[in-house]
Amino acid sequence: MKLVNLPDLSGDFQVIPSLAVMGRSAVWVRNDRYDQVRIGGEKKTPSEIVSFLKDRFPVIHYIDIMGIRKGKVEWNTFRSAADLAGEIWADTGITFSDSIIDPLMAGAAFGIISTKMVQSIEEIAAAFELTENVILQIDHDRGIIAKDAVISRMTPGEMIREMGTFGLDTFIIDDIGNERGTPSREILSEMLRALPSKGRLYAGVDRPEDLKLIDEMGLDGGIISISRILRDMG
């Protein structure tokens, strides 16, 4: 496996590869469907990919697709990857607060709660009462995507301020519209202004060159699919 060339970035900026897993397979989106990851025609397991990435990237963003779709996380595959990674941030489809413990017990450094999955704003606060190892992902498509109308009526900056009152200080913004891309400068600027002291903000990006943009804006890091940074995927 080989990496594409990444732009020159500031020393504190984190590039975080995002690994999607379905069942026991590493997958990526091709032609609007999930396909198994192949490098040079050879299938690669989640553990093989994490093992390759870990020396260059201290943090891996891990998404369990079946956990998000059906609440069925493949924990053995997750544990194998977590044992190899320096640090894993896990998005396993958390809906209720007590589920935050599961990825942490399986080896994740942080569990991700996303606005599109969580049942209510109260569940986010309750999860943070159980553990401080919580990252809030704000899913956005011309507004916050959420089941809870209280959340969906907020701007991303307002959501950060509200969560800051509970003590949350680490946030991800992910543009999940039909034309996935990097969130606008306006949205990112609003979120940066709303961050609590010592707060951290990361953004999902679609292209390696977008990492430079959010680095220059002052974000702490960018999350990018492995399909954008590994060569010869097909």
CATH number of the structural domain spanning residue 201: 3.20.20.70
Question: What is residue 231's predicted lDDT score, i.e. its pLDDT?
Answer: 87
Between 29 and 64, residue with greater pLDDT: 64
pLDDT confidence band for 1 (50 / 70 / 90): confident
Buried b (16+ CB within 10 A) or exposed e, 34-43: eeebebeeee
Per-residue confidence (pLDDT) for residue 33, from 0 to 100: 85
Determine the residue type at 86.
G
Domain assignment of residue 158, yes or no? yes
Domain contains 125: yes
The CA distance from 101 to 47, in Å, is: 22
In a domain, 2, yes or no: no
Within a domain: 67? yes
Strand partners, 34: 29
Q: Is residue 124 part of a domain?
A: yes
- CA 2, CA 52: separation in Å to the nearest integer? 9
pLDDT at 32 over 80: no
What count of other Cβ atoms lies within 10 Å of the Cβ of residue 116?
19
234 lies in some domain:
no
The confidence score (pLDDT) of residue 216 equals: 97
| pLDDT tens string 169-227 | 999 999 986 556 788 999 999 999 999 999 999 999 999 999 999 999 999 999 999 99
Confidence of residue 150 (pLDDT cuts 50, 70, 90): very high
For 100, how many CA atoms within 13 A lie in the half-sphere containing its CB?
A: 24
- Give SS3 for 6: coil
CA 155, CA 167: separation in Å to the nearest integer? 19
Q: Which domain holds residue 55?
A: 14-229
Q: How many domains does the chain have?
A: 1
Q: Give 80-89 pLDDT, tens digit per residue.
A: 999 999 999 9
Confidence category of residue 41, pLDDT binned at 50, 70, 90: confident
Domain-embedded: residue 8: no
Q: Note whether 107 and 83 are within 8 A (CB).
A: yes
Instruction: Report the residue count for the chain.
Output: 234
Quote the mean pLDDT of the chain.
Answer: 95
Q: Whole-prediction pTM value?
A: 0.95
